[in-house]
Amino acid sequence: MPIYINQVDQSNKFWQYDVNENMVKIKWGRIGGSSQEQTKQFPTTSQLDNFISKKVSEKLAKGYIISDKDKLNKEVKTAQDLGTQYKIMELHWVSMGVGKLTKLPEYNPSQYVLARVMNSWSKEYKDILISKNSSGYLDNYNDFQFKNFRILSDNFIDAIKKYIKSLNIKITEMITMFGDLGVRKLDIEGDFKLPDVQLQLVSEQVITTMKTMGTRYLEL
């Protein structure tokens, strides 16, 4: 069962087909969301092959890439864990003291990444600290002050970490490719797009913070 996925710009879709003699069953939809199915029967095998060839060419032209069931299942899990209602509003490089965070001028792999994640439905925030060795939630966080740091690894934090890393990789690739031009013009509405990343899930502040890293990669 060939599977194709499209995560270009704000897309996060899949398309797949399954052939049984002269009949093809097509399934498509949003990764982690609703899907649709259609079954078509053809008088001859050649007509079926022509139909599939045409559809695959159309999908490739739109940015779909060949994938597999395991990859699709991972993307579904990420979409479900993160949820389309959540958006990463702030991203900061910080060090942690007793009850407070200190904002760092640049990323330090031995310190922490602070992600403020807003639920766009309830307008509530989740404040998450991420590092190579430990991640978790900040209780009663406000203006770099907090009551408690709960070290925890759950599906939501794993999804946030994966999303931030994918964003970093794509921005780093663009800056490496375009140099200073990429640094100056790479933004949500700019000329350069970030494939494989859903930009509606982050604020422009997050993009800007990532750009300050230049060609460095996050070590999470």
Model pLDDT, residue 42: 96
Distance CA 165, CA 177 (A): 18
- Answer whether residue 8 is part of any domain: yes
- Domain that residue 112 falls in: 83-211
Q: How far is CA 205 from CA 87, 100, 188, in A?
A: 12, 22, 10
Model pLDDT, residue 200: 59
Using the predicted structure, report yes or no on whether residue 6 has a pLDDT greater than 90.
Answer: no
Model pLDDT, residue 58: 95
Torsion of CA 164, 90, 217, 70, to 10 degrees: 0
Considering the domain architecture, whether residues 65 and 94 belong to the same structural domain is answered as no
Contact between 187 and 205 under an 8 Å Cβ cutoff? The reply is no
Model pLDDT, residue 194: 53
- Which stretch, 10-19, 34-43, 189-198, has highest mean pLDDT? 34-43
Model pLDDT, residue 145: 97
Q: For the chain, how many structural domains are there in total?
A: 2
- Answer whether residue 103 is part of any domain: yes
Distance CA 38, CA 26 (A): 5
pTM metric for this prediction = 0.63
Which of 49, 78, 107 is the C-terminal boundary of a domain? 78
At residue 191 the predicted structure's pLDDT band, cuts being 50, 70 and 90, is: very low
Signed CA dihedral, 52, 53, 57, 63: sign only? positive
Tell me whether strands 148-151 and 135-139 are parallel, antiparallel or unpaired: antiparallel
User: What is the CATH classification number for the domain harbouring 57?
Assistant: 2.20.140.10
- Answer whether residue 216 is part of any domain: no
Phi, psi for 212 (deg, rounded to 5) = -65, -15
Using the predicted structure, report yes or no on whether residue 61 has a pLDDT greater than 50.
Answer: yes
The DSSP letter of residue 199 is G
Using the predicted structure, report yes or no on whether residue 176 has a pLDDT greater than 50.
Answer: yes
Using the predicted structure, report yes or no on whether residue 185 has a pLDDT greater than 60.
Answer: no
Least confident of 27-41, 148-162, 169-183, 184-198: 184-198
